[in-house]
């Protein structure tokens, strides 16, 4: 009998099943985490374990989904939910208070006015300070 823990995606799958997530949700969330890992492996040409990554890498991936892949706000929200759940329950790193990212709803304005800093727009929307973007903000 091996004492090695199961691969990280299998740990996430087991968590989702234990908590009675729908099979389609399980498949989609596993796909999002797999894409996230592969995205960062492609950026550096080597594999980095998700526990060695955090909010900065998640934020970069979610922003890239909007800017390069042109995803909708609901797609970005689904990816965010999958990664937040994965990090909170498998990696034991709650990212909810660490993420500031580009909501997909701001993309059109950014493309029209390339000089706009998305973070300043977010901060104005949230009445100053370092805004924390939640899934609700993304869908707004």
pLDDT tens track for 80-91:
999 999 999 999
Going by pLDDT thresholds of 50, 70 and 90, the confidence category of residue 105 is low
Give the side-chain half-sphere CA count within 13 A for 57. 21
Tally of domains in the chain: 1
Residue ranges making up the domain that contains 90 = 8-139
| Phi–psi pair at 85, nearest 5 degrees | -65, -45
Per-residue pLDDT reduced to its tens digit, 45-58: 677 889 888 888 99
Residue 125 within any structural domain of the chain? yes
- Cβ–Cβ < 8 Å for 75, 64: no
Residue 94 within any structural domain of the chain? yes
Residue 2 within any structural domain of the chain? no
This prediction has a pTM of: 0.70
Going by pLDDT thresholds of 50, 70 and 90, the confidence category of residue 104 is low
Domain with residue 128: its CATH number is 1.10.150.130
């Amino acid at each position: 009998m091996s004492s090695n823990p199961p691969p990280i995606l299998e740990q996430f799958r087991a968590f989702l099943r234990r908590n009675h997530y729908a099979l389609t949700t399980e498949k989609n969330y596993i796909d999002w985490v797999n894409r996230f890992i592969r995205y960062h492996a492609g950026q550096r040409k080597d594999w980095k374990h998700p526990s060695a990554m955090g909010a900065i890498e998640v934020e970069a991936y979610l922003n890239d989904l909007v800017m390069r892949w042109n995803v909708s706000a609901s797609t970005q929200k689904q990816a965010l939910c999958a990664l937040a759940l994965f990090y909170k329950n498998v990696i034991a790193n709650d990212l909810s208070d660490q993420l500031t990212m580009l909501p997909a709803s701001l993309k059109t304005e950014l493309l029209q006015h390339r000089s706009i800093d998305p973070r300043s727009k977010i901060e104005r929307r949230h009445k100053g300070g370092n805004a924390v973007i939640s899934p609700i903000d993304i869908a707004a």
